[in-house]
Structure 1
Amino acid sequence: MQRAEPLRVADRVTAEALVAGVLGNMAALETVLADEAAHVRAGRLRESTVVAEPKAALAAAYMQGLEAAKANAVALKRFHPEGVEMLRSAHRRFTAAVEANQAVLASAKTVSEGLIKSLAEEIGRAQMPVGYGRQAPAPSPYGRGVRSGPLVLSRSL
């Protein structure tokens, strides 16, 4: 794969195009993140995974635009200072949107891990024979310690 030439801002038109491109990618990515968070909050996990591919492409484009803006910071400040301020304020809003999205995803991860852990514990308790004396796990038919049943996970949720 060939690397593209780095963008060099040498006039106001190029500076405006760079700022507009970064702002456009940021807005599109913010919309995708909001959609993903809404799907996860509503429990529509399948729909939330559909946005993974566009999210990755938009994030890559945003990062490339951000790197180009950093590389041309002096020229941007010279040719389009109001664009730099627009980028700063948009980036603050975008950071808040990313943090909200990350909080939703972290909550969903914590809940799902808790469900799987409690399910595994419940399955493990069901394997314990009930009788007199000390409770011990049932021996494995393969002679290697505790017998554990399969943990079934439904991917259709």
Structure 2
Amino acid sequence: MAEPVRTPIADRAGAEALVAEVGAAMRALETVLAAESEAVRAGHLRQGLAEPERKGALTATYMQELERVKANAVALARFAPQGVERLRAEHRRFMEAVEANQAVLGTARSVTEGLIKALAAEMGKASTPTVYGAPSVAPSPYGRSPRSGPLVLSRTL
């Protein structure tokens, strides 16, 4: 997919349009992140992580808009200084939303990993033979019970 050719900012209208486009990209991505965070907090992982394509597309748009801002920083400061300040404030709020989303996803991941480890330990404990009350190791892999196979984890939700 080719990136559209963008002309440099040459006037106030172009600067305001760029500020508006970047703000719209941030708000759209923030909305998706907030919905994802709420669903994951409520324990609805499939629902929360159901829009990876949309999230990826909005992230790509946001990154492209940031590159445009960097490329036109001098023109933006000259033609729309109030827009730049508004954009900075919106960006701070957006970064707070991103950090909150990352915290929610990190918590969900650590809880999930803990559950998987506990499940694997419990399954391993149940299939370990005991000799006089102490756990022992089977002499060969062929002597293990059918439940002692590896734990399989699907990373897709």
TM-score (norm 1): 0.88
Task: Note the residue ranges of structure 1 that are not aligned, 5 or more in a row.
Answer: none
Look up the match of 1:140. Answer: 141
Q: Residues 23, 134 of structure 1: CA spacing in aligned structure 2 closer, same or farther, 3 A cutoff?
A: same
Cα displacement string for residues 41-65 of structure 1 (whole angstroms, at most 9, x for unaligned residues):
0111111121221111111101100
Report the CA distance shift for 1:108/1:7 in structure 2 as closer, same or farther (over 3 A): farther
Matches within 5 A, 1:1-157: 1-132=1-132, 134-138=134-138, 139-141=140-142, 148-151=148-151, 153=153
CA distance in 2, matches of 1:156, 1:4: 33
Identify if the C-alpha distance between structure 1 residues 156 and 13 changes in structure 2 by more than 3 Å, giving closer, same or farther: closer
Q: Which amino acid aligns with 1:91?
A: H
TM-score, normalisation: structure 2? 0.88
- Separation of aligned partners in 1, 2:63 and 2:135: 57
State, as a whole percentage, how many aligned pairs show the same letter.
58
Q: What amino acid is aligned across from residue 140 of structure 1 in structure 2?
A: P
Query: For residues 40 and 31 of structure 2, what CA distance do their matches in structure 1 show?
Result: 14
Shift of 1:36: 0.1
Partner of 2:30: helix, strand, or coil? Answer: helix
Cα deviation for residue 151 of structure 1 reads 2.2
| More off after superposition, 51-60 vs 113-122 | 51-60
> Contact 1:123–1:149 at 8 Å: present in 2 too?
no
Q: What one-letter code is carried by the residue in structure 2 that aligns with 1:88?
A: R
The alpha carbon displacement at 1:4 in A equals 3.0
2-structure distance, mates of 1:117, 1:132: 27
**Matches of 1:18 and 1:25, distance apart in 2:** 11
Q: For 1:104 and 1:130, locate their aligned partners in 2 and report how far apart those are by CA, in whole Å.
A: 41
Structure 2 unaligned residues grouped into runs of 5+: none
